Amino acid sequence: MIALSGADSVLARHILPVLRGACQVYAFDSPEGDIGDVDFLKHFIDEVRPGIFVNCSEFSDIEKCEFSRSSTYEKNAFSVGQLSRLCAERDILLVHFSSSFVFDGETSSPYNEDDVPRPVQAYGDSKLLSETLILESGCRHLLLRVPHVIGSGYSFLHKLLRELRDNGNLTIIRGLTVSPLYAEDAANYLLSLINEGSEGLFHLGSSGIVDMASFIAEARGLYHAKTGIVLPGIVVEADYDDYPSPVDYPRNNTLSTGKFSRITGIQPPQWNDALACFIESWSHEI
């Protein structure tokens, strides 16, 4: 039996069908209850009695996190710590999604699990604190750090392409490197790790690295090829110090999946192939 929180998130929209093809899953989101509500959480866990709890709940708007720090740390860290303690008491495996934003982005190569985190904004710091609280709880855990995620719902790519279409231009950071993860791939990777009986920290992502401008150009091209619609607008690249945002973004937002591949034997697809799969299935959402 698996329990899942954050059922309406981009990740969960893809994880739920994959897990339900293998076992019974009880899922919920804020209308039904919240992991920050300890009474609800205890009642839910004791009624469902899951062997695994998959937490997809988070406050993920990076700029809003910077100005709503109390809510950010409560949602992304303290409620997770509470969940992890309950899992430890009941011998439940906690699957928790963390983020590549725990790193400062100052290296030139993808981050691996042994690299020292140095978050540079409230969102990344809250995700790192969630990892710390899970470790302190002593619960059995599967910590999965993910980079930018694309998938059904309202992923970061939806936001970028809609802004480009609606506003006529889009400003991005020059030279920012990414390797976005398709949520469908993340779902299958999670199932593989569960089937392997894996625990501990893993980095997930796609293979290869691309700068954000080239990634958006590839997405526009694939969208046009799929739908026949040309997304109008101009992409403007700004130097890091001139980018109009109150938040520091990691210049390098990529993760090494070497450990995951060694354990599962799975080699993640190239970022452009993952992007093509997303556009093929979900272009109607853009």
| Least confident piece of the model among 4-8, 33-37, 175-179, 268-272 | 33-37
Q: Which pLDDT score is estimated for 246?
A: 85
Cα–Cα distances (Å) from 173 to 34, 49, 217, in that order, read 35, 46, 14
Q: Is 106 exposed, middle or buried (0-12, 13-18, 19+ CB in 10 A)?
A: exposed
C-alpha span between 137 and 133 (Å, rounded): 6
Express each pLDDT in 115-149 by its tens digit.
Answer: 999 999 999 999 999 999 999 999 999 999 999 99
Per-residue model confidence (pLDDT) at position 33 = 83
State the pLDDT confidence band at 267, using cuts at 50, 70 and 90. Answer: very high
Domain annotation for the chain: domains and CATH numbers: 2-153+181-207+254-269 (3.40.50.720)
Q: What percent of the chain has pLDDT over 70?
A: 100
| pLDDT for residue 181 is more than 90 | yes
- CB 153 within 8 Å of CB 8: yes
Rounded to 5 degrees, what are φ and ψ at 201? -105, 130
Confidence tier at 107 by pLDDT (50, 70, 90): very high
pLDDT at position 186, please? 97
**Whether 25 contacts 2, CB under 8 Å:** yes
Q: Where are the alpha helices (DSSP H) in the chain?
A: 10-20, 38-48, 62-67, 69-73, 79-90, 122-137, 156-167, 183-196, 212-227, 258-264, 271-282
User: pLDDT tens for residues 209-260?
Assistant: 999 999 999 999 999 999 998 888 899 999 988 888 888 999 999 999 999 9
* Cα-Cα-Cα-Cα dihedral sign, residues 67, 71, 73, 75: negative
Identify the residue whose tokens are 């904004």: 121
Q: Which residues pair with 150 in a beta bridge?
A: 182
Question: Please, are residues 103 and 117 in contact by the beta-carbon 8 Å criterion?
Answer: yes
Q: Which two tokens stand for residue 136?
A: 């302190």
Q: Is the pLDDT of residue 281 over 90?
A: yes
Exposure letters 165-192 (e unless 16+ CB within 10 A, then b): beeeebbbbbebbbbbbbbbbbbbbbbe
